[in-house]
Structure 1
């Protein structure tokens, strides 16, 4: 799946779409600021949370971190686990805040 730009994500949020957004930053980063409606699953805990995400295997999942590196790893990991529609937020949370 192609990645998603901050502008596209904000446009879809403004349209009221129900989106699955996973923030793979550390909990303390998420507590400082977050994308509304996102759930925090730090990258290091993602393997243990797979069972909780199983029903999302065929749905769109948007992953993000601060700048895009950790979420790129999360996208690759989830794709390897059979998740079919994982998109990385280009530029991460930093780019989202500036969009």
Structure 2
């Protein structure tokens, strides 16, 4: 792999800089790529919810509605960085990622719109993975081959870290608990178009 093949890190923007931009007359478009349930729990006022899987699937359609400065937001910055790569591949310039995501935003005491509280997706993954590992290790005291379930979960988590993807997280995001209000392409494009008027 050469230096030219190495993906560049997305341009980061810290909470203080984003707050200054939002207070100026040149506010960027805020795109929150978390699940609708996470977005409903807490989000930056004025942001738009475009879940990462929807963004990846429809990045070409979204490109036409995102021609100004765009700041991508998620819980910690990981999913926003993935969204930046997808949109950059579609030819969208002027992309930045909020460093530390909504977690850093809230820690700085910046304003948030809140709704029904839910566990964050990452916390749900830790609970499910940990519970499966614990149960399979305990079960292996009676049925020795159950230890391989724990090994499979460990392997999956290792792969998730190396590939920066999470199959368990994607599966959990589809649960009704995490869906929140319906977010589809037509709704997103309508909201983005309405602001331009």
How does the TM-score come out when normalised to structure 2?
0.47
Once residues 16 and 35 of structure 1 are traced to their aligned partners in structure 2, the CA distance between those partners, rounded to angstroms, is: 17
Partner of 2:73: 64
| Corresponding residue SS for 1:67 | coil
Partner of 2:64: 54
Q: Map Cα deviations across residues 16-71 of structure 1 (whole Å, 9 max, x no partner).
A: 533200000000001001101100000011034431441424x2110010001000
Higher RCO structure (Cα 8 Å, ≥6 apart): 1
Q: Find out whether 1:35 has 2:54 as its counterpart.
A: no
Q: Find out whether 1:23 has 2:32 as its counterpart.
A: yes
Partner of 1:79: 88
Q: 1:77 offset after TM fit, Å?
A: 0.8
Unaligned runs of 5+ in 1: none
Q: Which runs of 4+ in 1 moved over 6 A?
A: none
